[in-house]
A and B are shown apart, each in its own frame.
Chain A
Amino acid sequence: MKLTLRVWRQQNAEAPGAMATYEVDGISRDMSFLEMLDTLNEELILAGDEPVAFDHDCREGICGACSLVINGDAHGPERTTTCQLHMRSFQDGDTIDVEPWRASAFPVVKDLVVDRSAFDRIIQSGGYISAPTGTAPDAHATPVPKPDADFAFEHAECIGCGACVAACPNGSAMLFTSAKVNHLNVLPQGTPERETRVLDMVATMDDEGFGGCTLTGECATACPKGIPLPSIAAMNKEWLRATRKVRR
């Protein structure tokens, strides 16, 4: 396959960026999208140019590092992570636009690499259960009904890639935040911190400069792990419940 790539190049956070055009040839349909970029980068290095910077690590769809907007879609045309997208999803001769996640809470570090530490700070503000090592009762001390355990798991699958924020026209982190709130709040172990967790995490989300939710549903469509849109409604319910219960 022969392709034309238009890639966002930006030297660092302060520098202005622009789309640059590259031609790549001899691309196999079996390559992953990132392997196609590897091919481009090998050519750029040998030509003495700086290779295109992009985040990636496990390349099996679970670490959440890869983060490209491909032809306007977060993670590209298939519902998966960028690393699991293969070139057979494209046609010979295609022009492909590659851009970084766009949100003011995710500033560009270089080229296609963005800073997603705001997500870490949301978790730090309450996305945990306080269980110091050694204090735990036997694992079977508290049974968890299977539907609750499954609900928790479904939300715990979030890989923190940020596609939800990238796809949202408001740059909102509601789907990410709700996934963690729902995972922990449904479990009996998470109950003691149920109210403070949701209030603190939502407050941090706002402070980090993410936008609000207008329920466009773009986040859930882009999510490679299928975190469902009703997750947001479930968090809203938790939040409203918490505002009634907690006096601040």
Chain B
Amino acid sequence: MTRTLWDSSVGKKTIMAVSGLIMLGYLVAHMVGNLKIFFGPGEFDRYAHWLRTMGDPVLHYSWGLWLVRVVLVAAVVLHGVSAYQLSRRDIKARPAKYVHTKPRASYATRTMRWGGVILALFIVWHILDLTTGTVHSGGFQEGHPYQNVVDTFSTWYGNVIYIVAVLAMGLHVQHGFWSAAQTLGVGNATRDRVLKTLANLLAAVLTLGFVSVPVAVMTGVVS
């Protein structure tokens, strides 16, 4: 079955759908966690600490977090490799373009590939910025995420990179969620409207939720 999945274009799409949904679930949790920033540094930092102690006493310190990280890395890699391979197949299947071209499909659909690349680059920057602190502006303080976030969004480029990425994420989720439903065979004519509405809702909520943080820092609501 594994070979069937990996060798087939439909199977690979299934892998993309499942890994995409895993990441989508993570995004929802991540966004909800982010919103804790509005309750001040104490609560936000405590939440960040809990991420390392969750599962205690069954799990050793930070094992829970590492588990999540491993699953996420697997999802990102599978999603990315599948997307790359499928895209190569698609481009090969349509080598000649029409002389007479016109814009096609929705913006979200057309930007899936480049949107995905933007998101991949963003994830790298985001980890180097707020997890390892390698490219962090100002002094990165381990264990003080509130201050780190405020620092990042106090620079213009921090805001630009983040907001562009969040908008790309919104578009990606809008088509991706509905598309995943089709790939997994959940879609049909009667459910189509529900699925499209849900996709739009998820995209909107995630975009607003994530964007609210830099906006709050910029406007001084969070400082």
Touching chains A and B, CB distance < 8 Å: yes
A residues engaging B (CB < 8 A)?
6, 8, 19, 69, 71-73, 97, 99, 102-105, 168-172, 199, 202-203, 205-206, 209-218, 228, 230, 232-241, 243-244, 247-248
Given the interface contacts A171-B90, A214-B179, A233-B187, does A203 sit within 8 Å of B8 by beta carbon? yes
- Asked whether B186 lies within 8 Å of A216 as measured between CB atoms, the reply is no
- Asked whether B185 lies within 8 Å of A234 as measured between CB atoms, the reply is yes
CB-contact partner of B93 in A8, A170, A241, under 8 A: A170
- Asked whether A233 lies within 8 Å of B185 as measured between CB atoms, the reply is yes
- Asked whether B188 lies within 8 Å of A233 as measured between CB atoms, the reply is yes
- Asked whether A216 lies within 8 Å of B104 as measured between CB atoms, the reply is yes
- B105 — which chain A residues lie within 8 A by C-beta? 169, 216-218
Distance in Å: Cβ of A202 to nearest Cβ of chain B? 5
Question: Binding site of B, secondary structure by majority: helix, strand, loop or mixed?
Answer: helix
A-B contacts counted at CB < 8 A amount to: 137
Question: Which of B9-17, B26-34, B62-70, B211-219 forms part of the interface with chain A?
Answer: B9-17
- Asked whether A209 lies within 8 Å of B92 as measured between CB atoms, the reply is yes
Query: What are 6 A-to-B residue pairs whose CB atoms are below 8 Å?
Result: A102-B94, A215-B179, A230-B187, A233-B181, A241-B185, A248-B1
Could you say which of A97, A215, A243 has the most chain B C-beta atoms within 10 Å of its C-beta?
A215
In the bound complex, CA of A99 to CA of B100 (Å) = 8
- Asked whether B181 lies within 8 Å of A72 as measured between CB atoms, the reply is no
- Asked whether A213 lies within 8 Å of B9 as measured between CB atoms, the reply is yes
In the bound complex, CA of A69 to CA of B99 (Å) = 10
Contact with A along B1-41 (1 / 0, CB 8 A): 10111011111111000000000000000000000000000
* Identity of the chain B residue whose Cβ is nearest the Cβ of A238 in the assembled complex: B185
Given the interface contacts A169-B94, A214-B90, does A239 sit within 8 Å of B10 by beta carbon? yes
In the bound complex, CA of A243 to CA of B6 (Å) = 12
- B101 — which chain A residues lie within 8 A by C-beta? 72
- Asked whether B94 lies within 8 Å of A104 as measured between CB atoms, the reply is yes
Task: Tell yes or no: B53 within 8 A of A by CB.
Answer: no
- Asked whether B93 lies within 8 Å of A210 as measured between CB atoms, the reply is yes
Contact with A along B165-191 (1 / 0, CB 8 A): 000000000010011011111111100
Given the interface contacts A102-B94, A172-B93, does A243 sit within 8 Å of B9 by beta carbon? no
In the bound complex, CA of A212 to CA of B113 (Å) = 14
In the bound complex, CA of A240 to CA of B15 (Å) = 11
Could you say which of A6, A105, A171, A202 has the most chain B C-beta atoms within 10 Å of its C-beta?
A171
Task: Tell yes or no: B98 within 8 A of A by CB.
Answer: yes
- Asked whether B5 lies within 8 Å of A104 as measured between CB atoms, the reply is no
Given the interface contacts A212-B89, A230-B188, A236-B182, does A104 sit within 8 Å of B95 by beta carbon? yes
CB-contact partner of A170 in B94, B100, B187, under 8 A: B94
A-B CB proximity, top 3 nearest = A237-B185, A211-B93, A171-B93
Additional A-B contacts beyond A103-B93, A202-B10, A213-B10 (16; CB < 8 A): A102-B94, A169-B105, A170-B91, A171-B94, A202-B8, A205-B9, A211-B90, A212-B86, A214-B179, A216-B104, A217-B105, A233-B181, A233-B188, A236-B182, A239-B185, A248-B4
* Identity of the chain A residue whose Cβ is nearest the Cβ of B112 in the assembled complex: A214
Given the interface contacts A206-B9, A212-B89, A248-B4, does A99 sit within 8 Å of B98 by beta carbon? yes
In the bound complex, CA of A233 to CA of B12 (Å) = 15
- Asked whether A172 lies within 8 Å of B184 as measured between CB atoms, the reply is no
Could you say which of B5, B14, B89, B181 has the most chain A C-beta atoms within 10 Å of its C-beta?
B89
Given the interface contacts A72-B98, A172-B90, A228-B189, does A240 sit within 8 Å of B4 by beta carbon? no
In the bound complex, CA of A8 to CA of B17 (Å) = 39
- B159 — which chain A residues lie within 8 A by C-beta? none
Task: Tell yes or no: B109 within 8 A of A by CB.
Answer: yes
- Asked whether A211 lies within 8 Å of B188 as measured between CB atoms, the reply is no
